[in-house]
């Protein structure tokens, strides 16, 4: 799974919305927690609501509908939702006092996992909707307006993507030159720490024609870089235009043919699903960016086995060797969990050793958080919180050092940068390196959507500074 940037990626997608179909417009405020797939889902829900007459707002007090798109991956994520619901309840009461409605909806993985419990714990909530039923949102809202409280968490049999409306072209243009595109959803791997197979359901791949059509629409709206999303994106497969069974590698080749799409990425991958064709795509497809998020979680075989990862540390390292042989400048990113039940000092040292061996360009690391209903939660020998803290600190210090060294190693080199948006400071624009770092350039260096050659002059905390090459 492991769509990363969980908890780093809270965005109010209000500014991403479309114009209402007809007046008077109702307003929706959407807050997104968690991974990139939730960011994508929030956009698609906003599109569905636009077709229902809602415009987006980023002022929560103005909203007729507040939608929290939630994340259940770790405990803190769900707790944040409950405390946010407390604040929103007060706003709902203030609006009610002046005769205005504020409906509250909870979507996403907490909605799926907790269902009706959310309304029991937060009675101000009007609707709870799981990730597989977003296309039913307008219907659900109609029933809510009729006075019902709705919990909609059955997995739908129909394909939600076929029923979700596409945004208007003008709206797509506003969303910028990079975009996410979900190609696969759900997970059949059942890592013992992970709640995703229960919240997102089993693995489903979207059909080739749907994906190509969506990518073409994005390119037509000026998108230059598309990141294909899936909990196990490299398990994607489907019947190709030639009648053959395609894997992700073949799909990437097809998407690279779309005029305007200059850059492709995919996330997140499982080591078990990196097949030869996908590795060949890294060798032969210049549009495929040389950056790979390939979580390993632990460097200890004992813990990997307990996690049901179904590979050893050696398997992972051997795989990286093949990938690096295909694409020399590829940068690696990963996810790590410290303090999985039974993790000893020696197990943790094995993780540190693996990190030193791989040398990551970026990584995300977390303390193990028992998820109700997952096998890990019921395992013996839970690691004390203080030990988890200490291990996480040591691991993060090492990963941060590697990330900074990776940036420093780029100083003086010339790289391609996709100009993405105006900078925070006047006179600057922000671009994106092939390895996902923000690149700060002079605003005259190029227009948004241009890919320009720049020379890296220095590094910031998390970014690169560059001049036109
Ligand atoms: N506790 C801690 N981290 C977790 N992750 C997934 N489940 C848990 C959990 N129960 C991490 C994994 C995954 C990333 C998205 O979140 O590292 O790859
Ligand atoms: Fe990823 Fe494993 Fe969770 Fe599936 S079960 S989403 S592979 S961490």
pTM over 0.85: yes
**Centre of ligand 1 from the C-alpha of residue 41, in Å:** 20
Question: Which residue has its alpha carbon closest to ligand 2 atom 2?
Answer: 191
Q: The tokens of 286 are what? A: 């210049």
Q: The tokens of 259 are what? A: 């005029």
Residue 284 CB coordination number (10 Å): 14
pLDDT tens string, the chain, 469 residues long: the values are 445 444 334 444 444 444 434 456 899 999 999 999 999 999 999 999 998 999 999 999 999 999 999 999 998 877 889 999 999 999 999 999 999 999 999 999 999 999 999 999 999 999 999 999 999 999 999 999 999 999 999 988 788 999 999 888 988 999 999 999 999 999 999 999 999 999 999 999 999 999 999 999 999 999 999 999 999 999 999 999 999 999 999 999 999 999 999 999 999 999 999 999 999 999 999 999 999 999 999 999 999 999 999 999 999 999 999 999 999 999 999 999 999 999 999 999 999 999 999 999 999 999 999 999 999 999 999 999 999 999 999 999 999 999 999 999 999 999 999 999 999 999 999 999 999 999 999 999 999 999 999 999 999 988 999 999 9
> Which residue reads 């103005």 in tokens?
62
Pocket lined around ligand 1, Cβ cut-off 6 Å: 1-2, 4, 6, 73-74, 193-194, 295, 297, 335, 337, 366, 368-369, 371
Distance CA 412, CA 38 (A): 37
Closest among 460, 410, 456, 409 to 468, alpha carbons compared: 456
Distance CA 122, CA 82 (A): 8
Phi, psi of 389 (to 5 degrees): -60, -45
- The burial of 399, by beta-carbon neighbours within 10 Å (0-12 exposed, 13-18 middle, 19 or more buried), is given as buried
Tell which phi-psi region holds residue 150, choosing left (phi > 0), alpha (psi between -120 and 50) or beta: beta
Closest among 253, 262, 172, 161 to 217, alpha carbons compared: 172
- CA dihedral 428→429→432→433, nearest 10 degrees, is -50
- Cβ(197) to ligand 2 under 6 A? yes
Task: Indicate which ligand has the atom closest to the C-alpha of 382.
Answer: 1
Task: Check: CB of residue 310 under 8 Å from CB of residue 194.
Answer: no
Closest among 266, 263, 232 to 249, alpha carbons compared: 266
- Nearest atom, ligand 2, residue 297 CA: 8
- Cβ(2) to ligand 2 under 6 A? yes
CA-to-CA dists, residue 416 to 178, 263, 326, 450, 467, angstroms: 15, 11, 20, 10, 11
């Amino acid at each position: 799974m492991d769509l990363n940037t969980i908890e780093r990626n809270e965005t109010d997608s209000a500014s991403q919305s479309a114009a209402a179909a007809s007046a008077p417009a109702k307003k929706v405020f959407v807050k997104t927690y968690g991974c990139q797939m939730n960011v994508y889902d929030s956009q698609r829900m906003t599109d569905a609501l636009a077709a229902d007459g809602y415009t987006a707002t980023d002022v929560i007090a103005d909203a007729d509908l507040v939608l929290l798109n939630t994340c259940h991956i770790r405990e803190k994520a769900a707790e944040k939702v409950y405390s946010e619901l407390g604040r929103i309840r007060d706003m709902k009461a203030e609006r009610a006092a002046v005769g205005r409605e504020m409906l509250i909806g909870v979507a996403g993985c907490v909605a799926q996992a907790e269902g009706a419990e959310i309304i029991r714990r937060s009675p101000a909530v009007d609707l709870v909707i799981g990730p597989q039923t977003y296309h039913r949102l307008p219907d659900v809202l109609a029933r809510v307006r009729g006075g019902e409280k709705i919990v909609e968490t059955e997995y739908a049999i129909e394909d939600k993507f076929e029923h979700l409306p596409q945004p208007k072209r003008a709206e797509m243009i506003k969303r910028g030159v990079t975009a996410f595109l979900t190609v696969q959803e759900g997970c059949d791997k059942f890592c013992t720490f992970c709640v995703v197979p229960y919240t997102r359901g089993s693995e489903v791949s979207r059909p080739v024609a749907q994906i190509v059509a969506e990518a073409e629409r994005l390119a037509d709206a000026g998108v230059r870089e598309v990141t294909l999303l899936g909990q196990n994106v490299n398990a994607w497969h489907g019947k190709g235009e030639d009648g053959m069974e395609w894997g992700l590698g073949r799909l990437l080749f097809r998407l690279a043919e779309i005029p305007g799409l200059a850059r492709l990425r995919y996330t997140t991958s499982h080591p078990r699903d990196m097949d030869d064709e996908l590795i060949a795509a890294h060798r032969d497809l210049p549009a495929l960016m040389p950056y790979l998020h390939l979580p390993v979680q632990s460097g200890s075989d004992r813990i990997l086995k307990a996690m049901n990862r179904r590979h050893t540390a050696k398997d992972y390292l051997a795989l990286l060797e093949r990938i690096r042989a295909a694409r020399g400048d590829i940068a690696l990113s990963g996810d790590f969990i410290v303090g999985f039940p039974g993790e000893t000092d020696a197990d943790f040292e094995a993780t540190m050793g693996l990190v030193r061996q791989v040398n990551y360009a970026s990584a995300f690391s977390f303390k193990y958080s028992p998820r109700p209903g997952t096998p890990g939660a019921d395992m013996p020998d839970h690691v004390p919180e203080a030990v988890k803290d200490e291990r996480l600190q040591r691991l993060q210090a090492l990963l941060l050092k590697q990330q900074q060294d990776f940036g420093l190693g780029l100083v003086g080199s010339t790289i391609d940068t996709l100009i993405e948006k105006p900078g925070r400071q006047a006179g600057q624009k922000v671009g994106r390196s092939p390895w996902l770092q923000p690149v700060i350039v002079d605003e005259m260096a190029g227009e948004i959507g241009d890919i320009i050659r720049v020379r890296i002059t220095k590094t910031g905390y998390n970014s690169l500074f560059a001049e036109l090459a």
